[in-house]
Amino acid sequence: MRIDSRQMIALCNQFLKFYDSRLVEHGERVACIACKLMAQFEHREQLELKNVVLLALFHDIGAYKTEEIDRLLEFETVDAERHSIYGYLFLKNFTNLSALAQAVLYHHTPNSRLEGVSPVIRYYAQLIRLADRVDIALENKTSPEELIPRLRRLDFEPSCLKALEKAVSQGKVTAPVAGEERERWEQEVLSSIPVSQQEALTYLKMMVHTIDFKSEATALHSTNTVIISCFLGEKLGLTQPQMESLSCAALIHDLGKAQVPNSILECAGRLSEGQMAVMRRHVEYTYEIIKDILPQDIVDIATRHHEKLDGSGYPNGLKAAQLTQSDRILAVADIVSALSSRRSYKDGYSWLRTLHILEDMANRGLIDREAAGVIGENYLELQAVIERQSKPILRRYQAIRTQYEGMLTGGVCRTR
CB of 80 to Fe ion, least distance (A): 5
Q: Is 68 in the site for Fe ion (CB under 5 A)?
A: no
Cβ 246 vs Cβ 330: under 8 Å:
yes
Q: Which stretch binds Fe ion (CB under 5 A): 118-126, 193-201, 330-338, 353-361?
A: 330-338
Q: Is 301 in the site for Fe ion (CB under 5 A)?
A: no
Residues binding Fe ion: number (CB under 5 A): 5
**Which residue, 88 or 203, has its beta carbon nearer to Fe ion?**
88
The one-character DSSP state at 319 is B
Which residues in 381-410 contact Fe ion (CB under 5 A)?
none
Q: Is 132 in the site for Fe ion (CB under 5 A)?
A: yes
Which residues in 254-293 contact Fe ion (CB under 5 A)?
254
**Which residue, 4 or 155, has its beta carbon nearer to Fe ion?**
155
The one-character DSSP state at 410 is H
Cβ 83 vs Cβ 104: under 8 Å:
no
Number of C-beta neighbours around residue 330 at 10 A: 31
The number of residues making up the chain comes to 416
CB of 194 to Fe ion, least distance (A): 25
**Which residue, 16 or 362, has its beta carbon nearer to Fe ion?**
16
**Which residue, 2 or 416, has its beta carbon nearer to Fe ion?**
416
CB of 203 to Fe ion, least distance (A): 17
Residues 6+ apart with CB under 8 A from 30: 56, 57, 59, 128, 131, 132, 135
Distance between CA atoms of 281 and 265, rounded to whole angstroms? Answer: 12
Distance between CA atoms of 90 and 397, rounded to whole angstroms? Answer: 10
> Could you say which of 199, 307, 327, 334 contacts Fe ion (CB under 5 A)?
334
CB of 39 to Fe ion, least distance (A): 21
> 343: helix, coil or strand?
strand
> 413: helix, coil or strand?
coil
**Which residue, 4 or 71, has its beta carbon nearer to Fe ion?**
71
Print burial letters for 281-299: b (CB count within 10 Å at least 16), e (below 16).
bbbebbbbbbeebbbebbb
**Which residue, 235 or 304, has its beta carbon nearer to Fe ion?**
304
> Could you say which of 35, 37, 47, 72 contacts Fe ion (CB under 5 A)?
72
**Which residue, 4 or 121, has its beta carbon nearer to Fe ion?**
121
Closest CA to 125 of 108, 103, 109: 103
CB of 74 to Fe ion, least distance (A): 11
Q: Is 60 in the site for Fe ion (CB under 5 A)?
A: yes
CB of 100 to Fe ion, least distance (A): 16
How far, in whole angstroms, is CA 78 from its chain's centroid? 25
Return phi, psi of residue 361, to 5°. -65, -40
Ramachandran class of 4: left when φ > 0, alpha when ψ lies in -120 to 50, beta otherwise:
beta
Residues 6+ apart with CB under 8 A from 194: 5, 50
Q: Is 173 in the site for Fe ion (CB under 5 A)?
A: no
**Which residue, 25 or 334, has its beta carbon nearer to Fe ion?**
334
Q: Which stretch binds Fe ion (CB under 5 A): 126-134, 231-239, 315-323, 343-351?
A: 126-134
CB of 327 to Fe ion, least distance (A): 13
Which residues in 227-256 contact Fe ion (CB under 5 A)?
254
CB of 122 to Fe ion, least distance (A): 17
| Binding interface with Fe ion (CB under 5 A) | 60, 72, 132, 254, 334
